[in-house]
C-alpha cells in the first residue's frame, strides 16, 4: 500500500522514500525480526574504499486526512537513530527552517537496536485538513526536551499539499531529511586505504558548528541497520568555518570488507552512554571500492 502511495505522489527523493516505505511495511508486519538484524561483513575484501557521508537520520512521513471524520492519520519511519533511543516528534506550524508552535504532539519514536523507529497514530478533530503550506513534521534529539541539545530537531520535513481542500480526503508523503539545528546539516566523505596491514581512514566534513568536536567510528552494519563499533576514529574537530579533516591510522588490519562497514559521526566529543551526545549526526556506508 505504501509503495503505491509513494508512486502516486512522485516524491523527488524516490530512493529514500522507497527504502523508508519498505521499513514501514517491515515494522508493521506481525512477527517481523529484521528490525534487530545487523548486516555483517562479507568475506570478499578490498584494499581501498570510500564513503559519501550525509546527514543522519532520515525517513518518510505519510499523512492521510479524512474529510468526513476529520481524522488525520500520521505514519512516520526513520533509520539512522541512536540504538534504543527515544525521540519526541510533532507537527509544527511554520517550516523546518522557521518553526513555530507545536500544533500536534506525536507519539515518541523509539529506536530499535539497529536505529529504526516507526509510529502510526490518529489525530482527531482536524477540521481544516492539511494546508497547502505552513506545517512541518519534526523529530527531536531526545530523550526529552529539558535542554537545547535534547530539544534540537535532528530531522524534519516540510509538508506541501498543492491540492489542499476540506471537501475531499487528502494524502501527502514527505521526506524527513536534514534539520536546521546546530550540527544537523553535515556532509562529507571518507577514504579508507590498507597498506602494510595498516588501515588509514581520512574523513572530511563540512557544515559543523565552528570549533565543535565530534566522536566518530567505523561500525559493523549500515546506516539503515546500525551495529556495534569495530574501530574508533580520531575525534573530529571543526575549524572556524565549520569544516574538519581527520586522519586515523589503525594497525593490524589486513583488508576492508565489501559490505558491512559504515562510518558514523556523533554529536558529542566523548564516548558516553548519553543518548543525546550519541546522536548520529552524519553517516556513510563504505560501498565505493577502488
Interval 202-250: pLDDT, tens: 999 999 999 999 999 999 999 999 999 999 999 999 999 999 999 999 9
Length of the chain (residues): 290
| Grid cell locating 192 | 579508507
By the 8 A CB rule, do 63 and 97 touch?
no
Output the CATH code of domain 2-38+57-176: 2.60.40.200
Check if the beta carbon of residue 240 is closer than 8 Å to that of residue 43.
no
Burial label, 46 (beta-carbon count in 10 A; 0-12, 13-18, 19+): middle
Average predicted confidence (pLDDT) for the chain: 87
Question: Look-up: residue for cell 534539520?
Answer: 179
Instruction: Read off φ and ψ for residue 197, nearest 5 degrees.
Output: 60, 30
Domain 187-289 has CATH 2.30.30.140: no
- In the chain, the percentage of residues whose pLDDT exceeds 70 is 82
- DSSP letter at 11 equals -
CA distance 49 to 220: 15
192 with 201: CB under 8 angstroms?
A: yes
How many helical (H) and strand (E) elements, i.e. helices and strands, does the chain have? 4, 19
User: Which residue matches cell numbers 505552513?
Assistant: 134
Q: What angle do CA 204, 210, 211 make, to 5 degrees?
A: 85
Whether 2-38+57-176 shares its CATH topology with 187-289 is answered yes
The predicted model gives 253-272 an average pLDDT of 89
What is the domain partition of the chain in residue ranges? Answer: 2-38+57-176, 187-289
24 pLDDT above the threshold of 80: no
For residues 187 and 12, the model is more confident at 187
For the residues 135-144, what does the mean pLDDT come to?
97
pLDDT of residue 35: 45
CB 274 within 8 A of CB 177: no
Amino acid at each position: 500500500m505504501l509503495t503505491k502511495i509513494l508512486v502516486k505522489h512522485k516524491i523527488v527523493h524516490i530512493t529514500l522514500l522507497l527504502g523508508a516505505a519498505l521499513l514501514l511495511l517491515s515494522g508493521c508486519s506481525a512477527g517481523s525480526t529484521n528490525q534487530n538484524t545487523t548486516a555483517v561483513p562479507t568475506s570478499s575484501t578490498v584494499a581501498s574504499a570510500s564513503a559519501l557521508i550525509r546527514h543522519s537520520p532520515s525517513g518518510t512521513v505519510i499523512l492521510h486526512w479524512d474529510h468526513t471524520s476529520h481524522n488525520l492519520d500520521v505514519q512516520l519511519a526513520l533509520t539512522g537513530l541512536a540504538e534504543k533511543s527515544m525521540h519526541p516528534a510533532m507537527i509544527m506550524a511554520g517550516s523546518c527552517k522557521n518553526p513555530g508552535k507545536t500544533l500536534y504532539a506525536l507519539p515518541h519514536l523509539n529506536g530499535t537496536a539497529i536505529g529504526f523507529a516507526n509510529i502510526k497514530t490518529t489525530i482527531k478533530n482536524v477540521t481544516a485538513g492539511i494546508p497547502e503550506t505552513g506545517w512541518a513534521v519534526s523529530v527531536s534529539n531526545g530523550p526529552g526536551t529539558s535542554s537545547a541539545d535534547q530539544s534540537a530537531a535532528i530531522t524534519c520535513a516540510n509538508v506541501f499539499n498543492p491540492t489542499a481542500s476540506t471537501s475531499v480526503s487528502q494524502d501527502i508523503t514527505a521526506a524527513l531529511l536534514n534539520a536546521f539545528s546546530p550540527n544537523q546539516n553535515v556532509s562529507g566523505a571518507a577514504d579508507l586505504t590498507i597498506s602494510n596491514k595498516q588501515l588509514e581512514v581520512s574523513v572530511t566534513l563540512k557544515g559543523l558548528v565552528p570549533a565543535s568536536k565530534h566522536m566518530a567510528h567505523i561500525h559493523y552494519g549500515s546506516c539503515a541497520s546500525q551495529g556495534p563499533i569495530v574501530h574508533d576514529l580520531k575525534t573530529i574537530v571543526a575549524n572556524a568555518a565549520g569544516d574538519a579533516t581527520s586522519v586515523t591510522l589503525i594497525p593490524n588490519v589486513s583488508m576492508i570488507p565489501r559490505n558491512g562497514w559504515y562510518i558514523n559521526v556523533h554529536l558529542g566529543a566523548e564516548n558516553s552512554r548519553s543518548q543525546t551526545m550519541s546522536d548520529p549526526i552524519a553517516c556513510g556506508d563504505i560501498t565505493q571500492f577502488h
